[in-house]
Amino acid sequence: MIAVISAGGKGTRLSAIAPNIPKPMVPIAGTPILVHQVESLKRSGVKEFVFLVGHLGHVIREYFGDGSSFGVSIRYIQEDQPLGSGGSLYFLREGIKEDFLFVFGDLMFDVDFIRMMQFHKEHGAAITLFAHPNSHPFDSDLILQRNGQVHGIDSKNNVRDYFYENLVNAGIYVLSPRLFKDYFLEPAKTDFEKDVLAKEIERGDVYAYHSTEYVKDAGTPDRYESVGRDLLSGVIAGRSLAKKQKAVFLDRDGTINTYKGFLTDIDQLELIPRVAKGLKDINESGYLAIIVSNQPVIARGELTVPELDEIHRKLQTLLGKEGAYYDDLFYCPHHPDKGFEGEVRELKIDCACRKPGIGLILEAAEKYNIDLCQSIMVGDGTMDIQTGVNAGMKTVLVKTGLKGEDGKYDAQPDFVIDSLADIQEVLSKL
């Protein structure tokens, strides 16, 4: 694999911390961001690098040379005139004939790029972008997508009077060399997002690779501090999907949102007070937050999949306003009992994913390389506790919603807390 790193940024906003060095050379825990990037990319098998450098580019050249001391090969493209975020890709027109990674040099990450490249190849897109939820979707540009295909980017400057998915473009791409047919035809100023990405989105040729891995820019003093802490605590490396992950599996109704029986009316969705704080604690802990939910209302024909998707966008919007998110959500649309009016016949089956079955958990474990022995299941019903036991996880009962008083299963929880808001009590004991 080849990685092209846009390393021309000046780092103006960090000039107090690191004067007169390009942004990618700003040290995090004593080592330049660019070194952290090269090391992560190398772990995914990237040996060939192109650094796009500008003003102060000599600092980078002197540090890395030809890359041999890092066990890789590096060549440089020197931008004498600023060409925007994409203009210097012109100089790669002749040199690159395969799909390649395009990465912005101010990002701290540890990503399994083999997985991302595999996703890209499966979809055959012109551009695959790395997408993830963040803790401030309300002031971020958001990706609008359906089944991975991106159909728009909603600028943070727009007024948002709709429920949105918490999905943000991280600044890491896989690009197909076929882009050179239509773009980068001359060495001219090019804004990658506006002049290339937006046009390819219109053509339907952009896919979003949804990952839980750590990617954050270190471009402001605040973020610089938090990224440094995350590096030292091991959160950045720990989140790489090349490594086994640990997760908090969460029930939805009665655990996150107020229990109202089977929810079919979006207006009835409201967060249980303070649960966003609990999710935030999970988000900052190194555990993934994954919702697993039975939705037999789909099989019974009481709710359509687009309506359920909209309910989940509302859930993400409400959580996002409080700085919290979940990493993914899996649901079972099935129901075993046939013979009702309006039902969806093909979903009326005895499936393996309906809790207390563990099909949803196994699906998540496969997708995100999760070690169930290090994971926990949290819910308000005895069925959730039984699900956790069936999957070999530690279990946590929350005294919201059903409060564990439904009497359906005998499984006993390992921990009992008043509310998901108090999950930190459990996480600190694991």
Work out how close the CB of 387 gets to Zn ion at its nearest, in angstroms, rounded to a whole number. 12
Residues with Cβ within 8 Å of 194's Cβ and at least 6 positions away in sequence, in order, are none
Alpha-carbon 240 to chain mean position: 11
Length of the chain: 430
Question: For Zn ion, which stretch binds (CB under 5 A), given 32-40, 48-56, 127-135, 351-359?
Answer: 351-359
The β-bridge relationship of strands 107-109 and 215-217 is antiparallel
Tell me if 255 sits within 8 A of 401, measured CB to CB. yes
Work out how close the CB of 344 gets to Zn ion at its nearest, in angstroms, rounded to a whole number. 12
Q: From 169, 327, 360, 135, select the one nearest 239 (Cα to Cα).
A: 327
Question: For Zn ion, which stretch binds (CB under 5 A), given 14-22, 144-152, 349-357, 365-373?
Answer: 349-357
Work out how close the CB of 342 gets to Zn ion at its nearest, in angstroms, rounded to a whole number. 19
Work out how close the CB of 353 gets to Zn ion at its nearest, in angstroms, rounded to a whole number. 3
CA-based diameter of the chain, in Å?
74
* Residue number with CB closer to Zn ion (175 or 332): 332
Question: For Zn ion, which stretch binds (CB under 5 A), given 161-169, 240-248, 346-354, 382-390?
Answer: 346-354
Residue 241 engages Zn ion in binding (rule: CB under 5 A): no
Residue 196 engages Zn ion in binding (rule: CB under 5 A): no
* Residue number with CB closer to Zn ion (198 or 347): 347
CA dist list (Å): 368 to 241, 288, 376: 6, 9, 15
Does residue 195 carry a catalytic annotation? no
**Which amino acid is it at 219?**
G
Does residue 384 carry a catalytic annotation? no
Catalytic residue among 217, 253, 328, 422: 253
| 144, 235, 266, 351: residue in contact with Zn ion (rule CB under 5 A) | 351
Q: What is the DSSP letter of 304?
A: -
Tell me if 166 sits within 8 A of 93, measured CB to CB. no
Residue 365 engages Zn ion in binding (rule: CB under 5 A): no
d(CA 403, CA 411) in angstroms, rounded, equals 14
Q: What is the DSSP letter of 68?
A: G
| 129, 353, 364, 393: residue in contact with Zn ion (rule CB under 5 A) | 353
d(CA 115, CA 120) in angstroms, rounded, equals 9
| 332, 376, 389, 398: residue in contact with Zn ion (rule CB under 5 A) | 332
Residue 354 engages Zn ion in binding (rule: CB under 5 A): yes
| 334, 348, 355, 394: residue in contact with Zn ion (rule CB under 5 A) | 334
Phi first, then psi: give them for residue 172, nearest 5 degrees. Answer: -125, 130
d(CA 380, CA 393) in angstroms, rounded, equals 16
* Residue number with CB closer to Zn ion (100 or 331): 331
* Residue number with CB closer to Zn ion (210 or 354): 354
Question: For Zn ion, which stretch binds (CB under 5 A), given 124-132, 229-237, 353-361, 385-393?
Answer: 353-361
CA dist list (Å): 9 to 54, 62, 78, 188, 194: 8, 17, 13, 18, 18
Residue 239 engages Zn ion in binding (rule: CB under 5 A): no
Number of residues in contact with Zn ion under rule CB under 5 A: 5
d(CA 174, CA 171) in angstroms, rounded, equals 10
Question: For Zn ion, which stretch binds (CB under 5 A), given 100-108, 115-123, 129-137, 344-352?
Answer: 344-352
Catalytic residue among 251, 281, 384, 422: 251
Active site residues: 251, 253
Site residues, Zn ion (CB under 5 A): 332, 334, 351, 353-354
